[in-house]
Amino acid sequence: MNVSNETLPTAADTGAVPKSASYYGRPIVKPHVWKPYIAWYFWIGGAAGAASVECVCARMRGADALATVEKRAALAGVLVAPVLLIADLGVPSRFINMLRVFKLTSPMNLGSWILTAFGGAIGASTFAELLGWKRTSRALEVVAAGLGPALTVYTAVLVADTATPVWHEAGDTLPFVFAASGVASAGAVGVAFAPSQQNGSARRLMIGGAIGLLAAGAAMEKRLGPLLGEPYRTGTGGSFRATSGALSAAGIVVGLLGHKNRTASRLAATCVAAACVLERFAVSAAGKQSAQDPKYTIEPQRARLNARRDLDLESSG
Amino acid sequence: MSGLYDETAAEREMATHTQQESRKGFFTDTTLCIGCKACEVACKEWNQLPADGYAFTGNSYDNTGELNGSTWRHVAFVEQLRSGALAAPAAPPPQSPAQSQSQSQSQGAPTGGHQVVHPDAGRWLMESDVCKHCTHAACLDVCPTGALVRTEFGTVVVQQDVCNGCGYCVPACPFGVIDKRDYDGHAGKCTLCYDRLQDGETPACAKACPTESIQYGDVEELRTRADARLAKLQREGQYTDASLYLRDTGDGIGGAGAFFLLLDKPEVYGLPPDPFDTTRDLGRLWRHAGYAALALVGVTALAALGTRR
């Protein structure tokens, strides 16, 4: 259970001093224990939130078919999301404990409330529509759209609010990665399923979102610096991220060139959606990698300590 | 009726901790640890925690490996030996304590424990690790169910009947202490033997420790004791590289309820050199999330503008 195959050479083995001393190369912080359900949820929840905003925007300019597609996407999202979240719990029967407190210091608790309220609004809006209460339904769509952006970005705060090095240190840029992924996915849904005479805004959203995803991802990696950027360039995290980037680029190109062709448009939408999913898996995998190697914990903390000590020396000298 | 009222008042007092106890904790003095692992065994016995299976890590005498959901004490073994010291003990060049000190400082790693038993062979560091019971505890802050609570003893405890096993506390802990258990799905970690404390007893590990390397008591008193111990070691010149870890309340976790006297840098024992409660940055994180949410709405509205459907 606790077997580690990793051992750093000790001073005794090499006669030299190891660069970053650690305890047999073992992790200092624990990697997250979430199953792939959670990465899927990050994508689905994020897309549902952005879809609710696009739904209202489409409604306002009379593109009702597109609005309906986006609303169905949001509804599907909130139906699947709790299943994924509950499946990941260690004690699924206690899922409701998420709502036994309202706790500002816990992004997961706030997120549970956001998801509950958002799901309630989208669900009630759909129900009202079935009953033929058009105005109530539209009003509830606006309520959902008010909560949607929070649903899309809170998961970035959730992962950044940990001791996982590449998550915490990317706290300023990660929400933009998640927002771009949500926007691109909502756009892709519109492009794939709405009638082509109504999906112009969805196409712009899909392509703009995919460009934003590439830009925000690059900004995040730059912000993380050479050391902490490593988990996004190597291993599983690196593979996911590289594939995601290639699919985004492919989606942008195909989406721009083939905008008059239904099949090409759907291909582009698939590429962009897959890129968004893989970006979430890249974040999950890179987080795990950065926790598993103690150098990502030790070296930034050492640097911080040294900087503080230099500052103290300066101010005292 | 008055009897009923009294009972309710007593219950209320318990629930709100109006009867505040002084903060309790551990001072683990690694200079006294002999690596017997009695703390590990006593903890497992008292808290009825399952064994971790038979594992051979090859890392000195440490086959426990790490703290996790069912291992709440972990003795770390660090062998700092000179090259070839065990094969052919050679007499080292004579060094003044000042020289050897500056050498071990500049290289940051083992140059040999000077005045220990075998001055030429090196030294063997042992440290019994445990949950730090942080003043600002990330696990408690991020817990979405309120299963993690602060007790009347100032300790941090998982309520096993509330925890739903979401696993958020696991990556949040800056020390990698708390973990989710496979066998019941809950998160688990040291409770500072909450049940024993309620009866005025010493936690099992401290009770079992034969050398008083693990000292239990009021945190304030332990801090005084640790300061005195450090001063004594430095005065006597035997452990000039000793330092106190997590004793300072000005650090990123506001000081710990369980702190340590170490003989090398924290990372050598598998401890973070500058731990912090991630929640201290939560305001900044939400602010940037707010900007991203605004950007999302702006971009979506913009895409809809000026469109012919």
Domain residue spans in chain A?
Answer: 32-294
| Contact predicate A2/B65, CB 8 Å | yes
- What would the two tokens of residue B285 be? 């994180």
Q: What confidence tens digit (pLDDT) does each residue in B71-110 have?
A: 999 999 999 887 655 544 444 544 444 444 444 444 444 4
User: What are residue B242's DSSP bridge partners?
Assistant: none
Among B49, B160, B248, B296, pick the best mutation site for testing chain A contact (most A Cβ within 10 A): B296
- What would the two tokens of residue A279 be? 């970006």
Q: What confidence tens digit (pLDDT) does each residue in A274-292 have?
A: 999 999 999 999 999 999 9
Nearest to A31 by CA among A167, A172, A230: A167
CB contact under 8 A, A57 and B53: no
Residue at token pair 């985004």: A248
Residue at token pair 């075998």: B118
CB contact under 8 A, B164 and A89: yes
Neighbour tally for B106: CB within 10 Å? 9
Whether the per-residue pLDDT at A176 is higher than 60: the answer is yes
Residue A102 exposure: Cα atoms within 13 Å on the Cβ side: 3
pLDDT at position A20: 53
* Helix (H), strand (E) at residue A38: helix A36-60
Residues of A in contact with B87 (CB under 8 A): none
Of A1, A30, A153, the CB nearest to B53: A1
Class of domain B19-83+98-276: alpha beta
* Helix (H), strand (E) at residue A275: helix A262-292
Q: What confidence tens digit (pLDDT) does each residue in B217-261 have?
A: 999 999 999 999 999 999 998 888 899 999 999 999 999 999 999
Smallest Cα distance from A50 to chain B, Å: 7
Whether the per-residue pLDDT at B112 is higher than 80: the answer is no
CB contact under 8 A, A26 and B270: yes
Say what angle helices A134-160 and A107-131 make with each other, to 10 degrees.
160
Pairing mode, strands B148-150 and B187-188: unpaired
Q: Which residues of A140-176 are buried (b: 16+ CB within 10 A; e: fewer)?
A: bbebbbbbbbbbbbbbbbbbbbbbbbbbbbbbbbbbb
pLDDT at position B240: 83
Contacts of A32 (CB under 8 A, 6+ apart): A159, A162, A164, A284, A287, A288, A291, B167, B170, B171
Residues of A in contact with B297 (CB under 8 A): 53, 149
* Helix (H), strand (E) at residue B215: strand B214-218
Give dist(CA A172, CA A170) in Å, integer.
6
Q: Is A102 exposed, middle or buried (0-12, 13-18, 19+ CB in 10 A)?
A: exposed
Pairing mode, strands B148-150 and B156-158: antiparallel
| Contact predicate B265/B108, CB 8 Å | yes
Q: Is A100 exposed, middle or buried (0-12, 13-18, 19+ CB in 10 A)?
A: middle
Say whether residue A231 is in contact with chain B using an 8 A CB cutoff.
Answer: no
User: What are residue B187's DSSP bridge partners?
Assistant: B180
φ, ψ of residue A303 in degrees (nearest 5): -60, -40
Smallest Cα distance from B295 to chain A, Å: 8
CB contact under 8 A, A109 and B145: yes
Residues of A in contact with B309 (CB under 8 A): 61-63, 197-198, 200
Under the banding of pLDDT at 50, 70 and 90, the label for residue B205 is very high
Smallest Cα distance from B21 to chain A, Å: 25
CB contact under 8 A, B293 and A149: yes
Q: What is the largest CA-CA distance in chain A?
A: 80
Smallest Cα distance from A111 to chain B, Å: 9
The C-alpha R_g of chain A, in whole angstroms, comes to 22
Smallest Cα distance from B115 to chain A, Å: 19
- Give the three-class secondary structure for B34: coil
Among B166, B175, B286, pick the best mutation site for testing chain A contact (most A Cβ within 10 A): B166
Q: Does domain A32-294 match CATH 1.20.1260.10?
A: no
Q: What confidence tens digit (pLDDT) does each residue in B131-147 have?
A: 999 999 999 999 999 99
Nearest to B133 by CA among B251, B226, B25: B25
Among B118, B120, B140, B300, pick the best mutation site for testing chain A contact (most A Cβ within 10 A): B300
| Contact predicate B285/A160, CB 8 Å | yes
- Closest CA in chain A for residue B179: A30
Amino acid at A64: D
Residues of B in contact with A37 (CB under 8 A): none
pLDDT at position A12: 42
Of B144, B184, B291, the CB nearest to A108: B144
Residues of B in contact with A183 (CB under 8 A): 296, 299-300
Give dist(CA B71, CA B52) in Å, integer.
8
Say whether residue A266 is in contact with chain B using an 8 A CB cutoff.
Answer: no
Which one-letter DSSP state was computed for residue B180? Answer: E
| Contact predicate A151/A160, CB 8 Å | no
Nearest to B196 by CA among B204, B205, B188: B204
- Give the three-class secondary structure for A219: helix
When pLDDT is averaged across residues A97-103 and rounded to a whole number, the result is 96
Q: What confidence tens digit (pLDDT) does each residue in A118-143 have?
A: 999 999 999 999 999 999 999 999 99
The C-alpha R_g of chain B, in whole angstroms, comes to 24
- Chain A segment 141-170 residues within 8 A of B by beta carbon are 149-150, 152-154, 156-158, 160-164, 167-168
Smallest Cα distance from B78 to chain A, Å: 8
pLDDT at position B146: 96
pLDDT at position B103: 42
